[in-house]
Structure 1
């Protein structure tokens, strides 16, 4: 067994970031993920540096532990092949809008007729019972819709997006959780079901737990927005030779820090004596911290605060993180030899399991690399596979590359 989801078959009809991140997490936990692509392939195959076209850095990180099959879902034979695979699949995961799935003949009602035990999970922009139901959505749009750029603007000036696909990845994690829980329920009841994971509502749930703030109450008590999170001085602190991330948080942390900084009297100041007062006066504290941290080197502060059990860490760049001593010791970054892309640096699986330990089983696949293999595993005969390849409903690179007419 390679992971707790070993034996779970997933047909993955997602592309870009959100859906593939969900299926990546499921694949890392041992699920057998068939990445269903069009002849053009997932859009992220072209995002970032690459050695070979269609195998970009972003794609490689989002699609390991999966196998690729190319089906032409605009053809009757391609859709027919997918429906046949659905008979023995456990999960159908998709990121098309539901109306597009219905046009393909792949609505939940049709999927349930094929396989009543299937978990049918859609990850798309908006809940289907609201006026935005038919709109397309991407990470930037959802960040904007939930107010993330405005929250950022209270720190940095004009509204700005967070510098990572945070909505895509948060919603991807939510989809992973939803699929896992639906599978758990099916183990108890034998029943499949449809699960909808809309981006807008899911990301709003993620953000507004912090930032609804005063509007939690009716009528509102003060403004929206968690003041500490939005303060422009909430940032890594400059030292004499670099930066540190520090969270002086609890009452004891602050008492010890005030003493280390040579100002023990601040611990008795009612503005700073408890978390309520510190939250109200966080701007003053951030200014004090900024002045204080500039007085010593990064190494000196890390040693001093670690000894005092105050949370601190040296700030990394993505490059220096590769040499972080903790990451090296736990083996987070793993060098791999990819069969077509050469030497690569992969991200390890963060969790540790005492049983059913997940593994890095497959490198990210070339487009259609496993088409024939997956069809065979889903019960297609070699003659049927040849027919599907010949009519173009299925693509496999080894067939295309050896064609005398290519």
Structure 2
């Protein structure tokens, strides 16, 4: 992102204004800071840290390469992403933001994806985790398990839709080397699908393990160190945005934004009472989703649509986390921003389209442990791993079916 000569003075002015507000409202700043720290420690740290460590260990042992070989028939034609991106998508859908950004940068560092492929991957695989979406939002905030199915289908269905749309991104921006690689990949697509086998996947895992060369102790130590560093960045951003949102609220500086959102909602024929959830969700997803359930007298379908929009947008706190992670590689932030806007709009539309036919039927198919609300994720991260295994297994089955259908067609 390029900066103009006006950027430093503008940033300095914003920082000074924020400092003055924090000094003017010290108690509100302290309460908001402790609340943000509690969210980080009780929710984000236990749900994200194990995934970061386990994912890096799996990369070091070549397990990601193994899964990537098996997921090629699914990921390449659908999203124009190598099969290794399927592992990132599964972990991202299961554990929530910003896991997929972290893993995508790891794939980029190892040369498993190109720059454009990494940006496509981060764009559609950044999502809310199902335990938060179903257990916290549907059951905890709304107190209605019937919302779980419609929110899950709208959120994850629209994420897949965004991934399909993003496959058309970046076709003309590849380097000559990447273009040659794409042509080579296309020429080998048929043979790859036919030669797809567990033996090839095991060989890919073995080659990756030999190339890595680190022992288990060294690999685990480096995984824990890098994961702790990232969690510190995530925690700092969560606390920062929690404080900023609070001081802007108590100082009435948000009144202009509230007024603008109300006018926009009126133009769109939506309840103006949803202005507070949208403003809160603009900064932080948890506050916005909780506020979406609060307005009295607003039809449930509108509150569910607002929650879907907020969950898909993710909040500026998540955007800052992802941007800080992408900054460590050569992946750009703007494709991610475009995808978040598209994801938010499409998920909202999905809620309205699916409300009548699906809204009351889908919850019966949701595992019971996802409907359990908990204020702390320390006891829930094993369930997140279970969700990851379910998603990866489902993707492997679909990939195998695609391979079988491919073979049946080309043998005729």
TM over 0.5: no
> Bigger radius of gyration, 1 or 2?
1
Q: TM-score range by the shorter chain?
A: under 0.3
More strand by share: 1
Superposition TM-score, scaled by structure 2 size: 0.24
Q: Determine which structure has the larger helix proportion and give its number.
A: 2
TM-score by length of 1: 0.24
